[in-house]
């Protein structure tokens, strides 16, 4: 049997009744703004910055060739962690219309956050880093050499969201047919 039209219209919630639907822009803005904290963390932890992870004085010089790879790895690890965290937050949301748009905005926000983190780390190195003769000697100083690391945040967000959705669908019981006896 079919529902009467009046009950059908009442069972569909209006889009304006849920105040959470108006906060879609947060999936773009929060990751982009959190790039500031990640950029500062990159400069604090990476060789050539404050070097809080290793404390090795040989890696303290931003122009040292030995610190380039670990510096890129620190930013890559921070961005990968942020991408996984964003995907888990996306998965904790109740499945409802707009999940695809939230995921798309979170991926774009992750890309913006990665770019912000990179630039904030470079700015922190200019402000608080040691005054070196990097420009005179032709070396780069505190910088990111592996630009592909900037794609880890949006990539991890998309991949982990896909996997969590896939595993959620695999564990779901099939719905019974409405015409079953």
pLDDT for res 4: 52
Residue segments in the chain with a per-residue pLDDT below the cut of 70: 1-22, 92-96, 131-139, 176-177, 180-181
CB proximity list for 63: less than 8 A, separation 6 or greater: 48, 132, 134, 137, 139, 140, 141
pLDDT for res 93: 57
3-state helix, strand, coil in the chain (%, to 5): 70, 0, 30
pLDDT for res 15: 46
């Amino acid at each position: 049997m079919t529902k009467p039209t009046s009950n059908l219209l009442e069972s569909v919630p209006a889009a304006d009744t849920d105040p959470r639907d108006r906060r879609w822009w947060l999936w773009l803005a929060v990751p982009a703004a959190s790039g500031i904290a990640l950029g500062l963390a990159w400069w604090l932890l990476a060789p050539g910055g404050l070097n809080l992870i290793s404390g090795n004085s040989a890696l303290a010089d931003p122009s040292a060739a030995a610190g380039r790879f670990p510096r890129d790895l620190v930013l890559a690890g921070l961005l990968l962690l942020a991408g996984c965290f964003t995907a888990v937050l996306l998965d904790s949301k109740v499945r409802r219309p707009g999940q695809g748009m939230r995921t798309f905005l979170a991926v774009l926000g992750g890309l913006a956050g990665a770019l912000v983190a990179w630039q904030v780390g470079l700015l922190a190195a200019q402000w608080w880093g040691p005054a070196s003769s990097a420009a005179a000697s032709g070396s780069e100083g505190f910088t990111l050499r592996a630009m592909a690391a900037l794609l880890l945040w949006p990539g991890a967000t998309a991949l982990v969201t896909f996997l969590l959705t896939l595993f959620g669908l695999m564990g779901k019981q099939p719905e019974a047919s409405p015409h079953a006896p």
